[in-house]
Amino acid sequence: MTYIAKPKLHHPTLGCNAIGFTRRDYEGKISTLCAGCGHDSISAAIIHACWELAIEPHRIAKLSGIGCSSKTPDYFLGQSHGFNTVHGRMPSVLTGANLANRELIYLGVSGDGDSASIGMGQFVHAIRRGVNMVYIVENNGVYGLTKGQFSATADQGSMSKKGVANTDAPIDLVGLAMQLGASFVARGFSGDKQQLVPIIKAAIAHRGAAFIDVISPCVAFNNHAGSTKSYEYVREHNDAVNRLDFIEPRAEIVADVAPGDIVEVEQHDGSVLRLRKLDASHDPTDRVGAMNYVNAHQAKGEVVTGLLYVDSAAHDLHGHLNTVATPFNTLGAKELCPGMATLDKINASLR
């Protein structure tokens, strides 16, 4: 329960990262989600990724909307900045915060109901503007807080726990993100930590709109035969296009690379994404090809996971607007007010 405080005592054998923090320093409150919920596995992956990257927790701002998924930021990074918005409005609040202070790392956590329904317009504009963020959708295909109604991402023909078939066509957030111009698009599975942790690490290092759709089974309402978001279904139909090794620029390059086709993509900060291609036909730098690949395999009932698309040369919203490097929230009236002469010149140009 969240009202039960975790012990502050850390076991002396816990390993420390490069800045002397243990994994416990990246945890939050005790989860109130159902035992076995995929969302808790995503929280654990975020904790592990931030610990391995040796990020100071106070440098992270985590934002969410409403839903089971949007409760999870309370369960990780307890020492970071946090803001829980109203239903579906997380992207616009994150955008404003990012414009005010570009020095923080922005982590937006949402759900399929929060982003694909009431927050669809918010999702669309945050992605197309290239806000520098990691946008994670914890996708279970149902409204878990309101007893398991189908969400907008539920596959057509999938069955509810009560045996009702979904007749509506699904919204594919991965395909939509690529179409809108997201410069980092991946899909993960909450039950595959080995794949998910490097994806989150790479997304944090990426500059631009990084979108991760994580299939996260709802054990209460969507983990039964007939569901396409269940643990069993995803494990049986998972088509992983690659395995990712994330190599930090300051670290020694050490990676367990299996024989086969290897693709290396250098990011703007010098970090390297080393992709062990499990499907030789997939090119993660080809946006149109990635969209076609996902659609083709989706038509066969396969769930494509891994890093689907990345543009290492992308610009973020601050780059598009050519803003100053100094965060806006540290600027004073002297820097923000152009003076009467400049204002008169601007007004004259508009006449």
Per-residue pLDDT for 1 more than 90?
Answer: no
Distance from C-alpha of 106 to C-alpha of 91, rounded to nearest angstrom: 11
- Residues in the chain, how many? 351
Q: What's the rounded mean pLDDT across residues 212-232? A: 96
- Going by C-alpha positions, the residue among 234, 256, 245, 246 that lies closest to residue 305 is 234
- Bridge-based pairing of strands 272-277 and 149-150 is unpaired
- Bridge-based pairing of strands 272-277 and 242-247 is antiparallel
- Going by C-alpha positions, the residue among 141, 136, 124 that lies closest to residue 177 is 124
pLDDT at 122: 96
pLDDT at 257: 45
The amino acid at residue 140 is N
Q: What would the pLDDT profile of 150-208 be if each residue is shown by its tens digit?
A: 999 999 999 999 999 999 999 999 999 999 999 999 999 999 999 999 999 999 999 99
Q: How many CB atoms lie within 10 A of CB 120?
A: 16
Q: What's the rounded mean pLDDT across residues 272-277? A: 83
pLDDT at 4: 66
Q: Which structure tokens are listed for 236?
A: 């049986």
pLDDT at 334: 86
Are the beta carbons of 106 and 94 closer than 8 angstroms?
A: yes
Percent of residues, the chain, with pLDDT higher than 70: 95
Q: What's the rounded mean pLDDT across residues 136-155? A: 94
* Residue corresponding to tokens 């610990």: 51
Q: Residue 207: which residues within 8 A CB-CB, separation 6 or more?
A: 132, 267, 268, 269, 314, 315, 316
Identify the DSSP state of 299. Answer: H
Q: What would the pLDDT profile of 59-111 be if each residue is shown by its tens digit?
A: 999 999 999 999 999 999 999 999 999 999 999 999 999 999 999 999 999 99
- Going by C-alpha positions, the residue among 227, 231, 117, 216 that lies closest to residue 173 is 117
Rounded to a whole number of angstroms, the distance between the first and last alpha carbons of the chain is 62
- Going by C-alpha positions, the residue among 75, 90, 23 that lies closest to residue 53 is 23
Longest CA–CA separation in the chain, Å: 71
Transcribe 175-236 into DSSP letters: HHHHHHT-SEEEEEETT-HHHHHHHHHHHHH-SSEEEEEEE---TTTS-STT-SSSHHHHHH
Q: Considering the chain, what is the average pLDDT of its residues?
A: 92
Distance from C-alpha of 331 to C-alpha of 254, rounded to nearest angstrom: 42
Please classify residue 153 by burial: count the beta carbons closer than 10 Å to its beta carbon, then call 0-12 exposed, 13-18 middle and 19+ buried: buried
Per-residue pLDDT for 242 more than 70?
Answer: yes
Q: Mapping DSSP to helix (H, G, I), strand (E, B) and coil, where does residue 96 land?
A: helix
Per-residue pLDDT for 255 more than 50?
Answer: no
Q: Is the pTM of this model over 0.75?
A: yes
Q: What's the rounded mean pLDDT across residues 285-309? A: 95
Q: What's the rounded mean pLDDT across residues 1-20? A: 77
The amino acid at residue 25 is D
Are the beta carbons of 93 and 85 closer than 8 angstroms?
A: yes
Distance from C-alpha of 83 to C-alpha of 70, rounded to nearest angstrom: 10
